[in-house]
Structure formats: structure tokens, C-alpha cells
Structure 1
Amino acid sequence: MKKIFRHIASVSLAIMVLFSTVSWTVDKHLCMGRVMDIALFVNADDCGMEDAMTAMGIEKMENHCCDDESFTLEGQDDLKLSWDDFELDHKLFLVVFSQSYFNLFVPVEELPVPHEKYPPPNLVRNIQVLDQVFLI
């Protein structure tokens, strides 16, 4: 299950990087206010109104009913972050978080025992049993 989750996460991150770095161009051809064609990365096909006008013998007449619209979503070009780009609060958080995260993986044998050299006190009577106070 962990391996499948790791593969899904890596593929989704790769797709996210791809979509954020690619520039997207959408081109639309409108005829009489209605969308006739939409194209990504290339020019949209026209509706054939210019061909019909040349077939009827009308030359160089301004075509007021057709319109082409295009817009471009610019992708991110600079993906390198430097340590100087972060503010002091972010730097402090990253250092503290990484230090606490890596300390989670210290083996149990190396953890210090705070009362290792001090023996427990001798019990004369078991006070919990005498007072009938038990931890549940």
C-alpha cells in the first residue's frame, strides 16, 4: 500500500511540475458571436466565411462577423529557489522542522536514560494497595 501511494504521489507531483512550467495558448474562432473552434497550442480553424466570400466574388471586404481570440497562460521559467529567497521566519521554521524530523529516527538504544544511575527507593509498604488507588 505504501509503495502504491508513493507511486501515485510521484506521478501527481511530476504532472503538477509539467503543467506549471508549460505555457498554454488557447485560440478561439468566433463567428457571429458563437464559438466555432477552440484549439490548444495552434491556431483555431476558421468557419469558412472567407472562402465563401471569394467564391461569391466579393474581394477584400472586411469581415465583421468573424473574430479570432487567443490568450496565453505563461508557465513558470525559474524553478530554482535559493536560500536567500526565503524570509527569516521561513528559514527558522525549516531549520527547526528538519532538526526535529531527523531526531525522530534516532535509534532507541542511543537515547539517554535520565535516571539511570539513581536506584528506585525501597518500598516498605505498597501505598497504592493500602489506599486502594489504582491507575486504570
Structure 2
Amino acid sequence: MALLVLLSTISFTMEKHFCGDVLIDTAIFSKAESCCDLEIKAITVAEKKSCCKEEMEVVKGQVNLKKVTFEDLNFDQQIFISTLYYSYLNLFEGLPQQIIPHKDYSPPNLVTDIQVLDQVFII
């Protein structure tokens, strides 16, 4: 949701520079390079000025954002939102800690293997 608001409110300028009818450079968020700055001996200064053309296209983002507070909602919507919020918080309520009665119990040391002693094997 935050990404959607960010993308809808961003504004930027796209600059295009033409020399005659040929697109020379396009830039977003920066200045487009101009061919008029190049020093070409065959073209005079007057011809450079006449062939260069710059276009700027401004894309404006949304400026008016509607801010709604909880008090602006009607009573039924307030009940629904508060019920949803309360039930959502109860989903993450912690479980009671389980008591393990034999947690510290250590089994006795085995001196001999009883299955081998009695010759009882699971097949």
C-alpha cells in the first residue's frame, strides 16, 4: 500500500532535445545534452540556434491525498474495524508455556545391552 502511494505521488520531468527533426537525447531527472553546445566549424551560430529544439514534458503526481480518521467513519464501519483489529490481535496471543515434568531426568547408565543379553531382536 505504501509503495502504491509513493508511486502515485511522484512527479518527474522528461526532457527531449532535437536537432532538426532528429532526437538527440532524452533525460529523466537530469538535463538533456544539447547539440548546440558542440563546436562544429561548418555550422554558424545562427544555424545552430535554428536547428536546436528542446521539449519538456512534466508528469505530475497526485497532490491531494484524502486523509480519513477513525472519527470520520460511520458507526457500523467503526464497529467492523474495531472488531477486526481485536480479533487480529488475538490471533497472535502466546500459548501458555508447557510444563515438561521429566525435563531434568537423566536415564540410568546401561552396563550391558539387555537385547543382546536376552537374545531378543526385532526383525
With normalisation by structure 2, the TM-score equals: 0.48
- The structure with the larger Rg is 2
Report the TM-score, using the length of structure 1 for normalisation.
0.44
